[in-house]
Structure 1
Amino acid sequence: MSETNADKREEPRATRDRYRHYIIIPTRWMDNDVYGHVNNVVYYSYFDTVINRYLIGEGGLDIAAGEVIGIAAESHCRYRQAITFPKDIDAGLAVSKLGRSSVRYEIGLFPQGEEEVAAEGWFVHVFVDRVTRRPTPIPERLREALSRLVVA
């Protein structure tokens, strides 16, 4: 027997308390596509923005000259509702898995003033040696910063 759309139950949306860190990201005029909403590929740039601002600001990641860099290994986004310019976004960040050399982030994008997540996703970084590109343990300062974001 096949399953119909009526039989499928949508997973509940993440709530603001799921995330441990927030930044405000302003949408830009150029983020909108011809359909009048933020284009899907732009959501991934929002993910990169909230993650890397945290890594640089809280974890001390030196993106220009540090011995260790983060390489994107996987990413996923579930679009729940459209975001449109000029709405600002509260970008939430959490960590669901903190390994020896990798981390899985959870990201939620909330239009300011709204309680329901418009997009939610995950992103995996593998930390590698800048020169050899081989996995390396997450530096202690960075690990400490990431551990503050861990959720069950």
Structure 2
Amino acid sequence: MEKRRPVRADYPHLLEIPTRWSDNDVYAHVNNVVYYSFFDTVVARWLLGSGALHLQDSPVIGLVVETGCRFMGPIAFPDLVTAGLRVARLGNTSVRYEIGIFRNAEEAASAEGHFIHVYVDRATQKIPTPLPQALRDALAPLVVTPQPGSVAG
């Protein structure tokens, strides 16, 4: 069964990220590792912008324990990327973020991916810690029911 290609409307938050010349690889398209940077960027910008994450002193931090990406179309400099963000699962100590990567004004995603943060105590970085209420509140607008045939489905 072929998976449904995500569209912009599948994501409650969209962030434009310009590509850079250095993002291209020898095949003249954005290298796959750069997509993971787009994932990190859209999540970090949401968390920092909402006030739910403070880089220097948040008592809990999210550690990435799983990632994945499905590529469906090329992107190359000087394309403008739009990263769509949603939360597919908001657990007690973890969050599953799902990201769609869109090229220029295209409605269908060029890539879709996910990563899971397990939140831990900053000092030990070992003990899973319940998500603080401020983090839950910040992520609530992003929570969606996964679409049939999506990476989460």
* TM-score between the two structures when normalised by the length of structure 2: 0.91
Q: Which residue of 2 aligns with 1:22?
A: 14
Say if 2:86 is the partner of 1:90: no
* 1:10 CA displacement: 2.4
Deviations 1:11-68 (CA, angstroms, capped at 9, x unpaired): 1101111101111000000000000000000100000000111011114201222111
Deviations 1:126-149 (CA, angstroms, capped at 9, x unpaired): 111001221111111111111110
Q: Which residue of 2 aligns with 1:48?
A: 40
CA distance in 2, matches of 1:80, 1:16: 15
CA distance in 1, matches of 2:51, 2:84: 17
Say if 2:28 is the partner of 1:36: yes
CA distance in 2, matches of 1:44, 1:123: 9
Deviations 1:68-107 (CA, angstroms, capped at 9, x unpaired): 1110010100000000000111100000000011000110
Query: Would you say the 8 A contact 1:103–1:125 is kept in 2?
Result: yes
CA distance in 2, matches of 1:27, 1:131: 35
The DSSP-based 3-state class of the residue aligned with 2:113 is strand
Say if 2:69 is the partner of 1:77: yes
Q: Which residue of 1 aligns with 2:134?
A: 141
- Structure 1 unaligned regions, length at least 5: 1-8
| Alignment RMSD (CA, Å) | 0.9
| Structure 1 counterpart of 2:50, from 40, 58, 66 | 58
Worse overlay, 57-66 or 72-81: 57-66
Q: Which amino acid aligns with 2:66?
A: E
Structure exhibiting the larger radius of gyration computed from Cα positions: 1
Say if 2:143 is the partner of 1:150: yes
Structure 1 segments of 4 or more deviating over 3 A? Answer: none
Q: Which amino acid aligns with 2:123?
A: V
- Structure 2 unaligned regions, length at least 5: 146-153
Query: Would you say the 8 A contact 1:110–1:117 is kept in 2?
Result: yes
* Aligned length, in residue pairs: 144
Report percent identity of matched pairs.
55
The DSSP-based 3-state class of the residue aligned with 2:78 is coil
Say if 2:31 is the partner of 1:10: no
* TM-score between the two structures when normalised by the length of structure 1: 0.92
CA distance in 2, matches of 1:151, 1:96: 6
